[in-house]
Amino acid sequence: MLYAYCIILNMNKDELKKVIIDLLSKEGPKTSTEIRDELIENGYEFDMILFREALADLVREGKIKKEPDYEKKKFLFYVSS
């Protein structure tokens, strides 16, 4: 059922990970909300749970890092060097 749902939304987790890395590589550090909003503005459709899982996977895999932004009271995500 979840697989069928992802097909309807036109993005699987691997595709979403690639798009997130591309976005952060081009535009620099962003919060998860900024990443989500940017992807939606660019016409990407995805499930929010899948988005959170993709972001968490990328952090665990060491492909992106997160650091607290005390002004925004959120985490900033950026591509690892």
CATH for 66: 1.10.10.10
Nearest to 51 by CA among 27, 35, 75: 35
Whole-prediction pTM value?
0.83
Count up the domains in the chain and report the number.
Answer: 1
Task: Please write the tens of the pLDDT for every residue from 15-70.
Answer: 999 999 999 999 999 999 999 999 989 888 888 999 999 999 999 999 999 999 99
Q: Note down the domain range covering 64.
A: 2-79
Backbone angles phi, psi at 12, to 5 degrees: -105, 175
Two structure tokens written together for 68: 């607290």
What pLDDT is stored for residue 4 in this prediction?
37
Q: Is the Cβ–Cβ distance between 63 and 25 less than 8 Å?
A: no
Two structure tokens written together for 3: 């697989």
What pLDDT is stored for residue 10 in this prediction?
67
Nearest to 51 by CA among 14, 3, 2: 14
Residue 1 has pLDDT above 50, yes or no: no
